[in-house]
Amino acid sequence: MRPEEPLTLTDRETVIHPTADIHSTAEIGAGCEIGAGCIVGAHSKIGDRTRLRPRAIVLEHTTLGAGNDVHPYAVLGGDPQDRKYDPAVPGRVIIGDNNIIREHVTINRSVGDEHPTRLGDGCFLMCGSHIGHNAVVGNAATLANNVGIAGHAHIGAGAFLSGGVMVHQFCMVGELVMFQGLSAVSMHIPPYVITAGVNTVVGLNRVGLTRSGRFSPVERNELKRAYKLLYRRRDERTLSERLHEAEQHEWTSAAATFIQFIRDALDQAPPRRRGVAGPMRHMRTDQPVLTHHSPLD
């Protein structure tokens, strides 16, 4: 007698541990595994082949795509940490496919329904990392242990945030940015760079650009030229003046994206008017000086 063929992931039946607490309005896809003590809240959706390990928590109005792996004590879809939050408008979290979400990760629902909190596909969220309300994290991003992303921040695809990195609310971080551990940003970070310390760009992420396989040597050289024009010249011009010069040239795709990001960042209206990070020792800035005000100010 021939041995039976092994079951593929799509063939497997959904397995739900008897101690799991699943709301009657929740939807569970095919081939899922719901472990002991898991909670799946009202109006939540768990995509095919997703695994909730023991005591993982998916709260109300949270959608997970296919093939996600959620580890113990992660809390997805918790209330937003915002004084404006109105429970009558619960907000949402939308999570893509094939993400690894490790222990004690927290992802909060949005304030309001118009701009849900979003996590893309193929991301790796390590222990204790946090994504705040209305934030957007792009595909293939990596958040190392104890990274904190505040509300309304945008993190580009392929970004790597090392341990303990903090991103201020409303900040935009471009794709393939590499953060040094324990760095913090309260300004916008252009794509393809390395950032360290506080609001400081220290160079291009050359390793990340090469490993991505998306950029030819010509494109990488053009990007290097654009970076030097905007960040490395030691003269008295402001960033806006340098940007105006850069915009007079034709650029390949990566360099054009880099320059356009800076233009868009400088043109933001409050509360996203945060300026652009740079090597402050060598560059005059005409950007706003940012201060923090408490709700009582």
Q: Dump pLDDT digits (tens) for 126-168.
A: 999 999 999 999 999 999 999 999 999 999 999 999 999 999 9
Residue 281: band (very low, low, confident or very high) from pLDDT cuts 50, 70, 90: low
Poorest-confidence range of 67-71, 168-172, 214-218, 290-294? 290-294
Predicted confidence (pLDDT) at residue 248 exceeds the cutoff of 50: yes
Other C-beta atoms closer than 10 Å to the C-beta of 22 total 18
Q: Are 136 and 124 in contact (CB under 8 A)?
A: no
Structure-block tokens of residue 139: 């595909």
Residue 46: band (very low, low, confident or very high) from pLDDT cuts 50, 70, 90: very high
- Taking CA atoms, 255 is separated from 204, 217, 225, in Å, by 12, 12, 8
Question: CA 232 to CA 78: how far, in whole Å?
Answer: 43
Predicted confidence (pLDDT) at residue 297 exceeds the cutoff of 50: no
Record the pTM.
0.91
Residue 280: band (very low, low, confident or very high) from pLDDT cuts 50, 70, 90: low
Across 229-245, average pLDDT: 88
User: For position 126, what pLDDT does the model report?
Assistant: 99
User: For position 7, what pLDDT does the model report?
Assistant: 41
Beta-carbon contacts of 217 under 8 Å, excluding residues fewer than 6 positions away, are: none
Buried-exposed string 99-126: b where 16+ CB fall within 10 A, e elsewhere: bbbbbbbbbbbbbbeeebbbbbbbbebb
Across 213-229, average pLDDT: 97
Residue 11: band (very low, low, confident or very high) from pLDDT cuts 50, 70, 90: low
Q: Which of the two residues, 15 and 286, has the higher pLDDT score?
A: 15
Residue 238: band (very low, low, confident or very high) from pLDDT cuts 50, 70, 90: confident
In the chain, where the domains are located: 15-169
pLDDT in tens, 79-110: 999 999 999 999 999 999 999 999 999 999 99
- Taking CA atoms, 117 is separated from 21, 71, 106, 268, in Å, by 24, 20, 12, 21
Across 179-191, average pLDDT: 98
pLDDT in tens, 16-25: 999 999 999 9
Mean pLDDT of the chain: 92
Question: CA 36 to CA 20: how far, in whole Å?
Answer: 5
For tokens 């204790």, name the residue.
Answer: 128
Q: Which amino acid is at 262?
A: I
CATH of region 15-169: 2.160.10.10
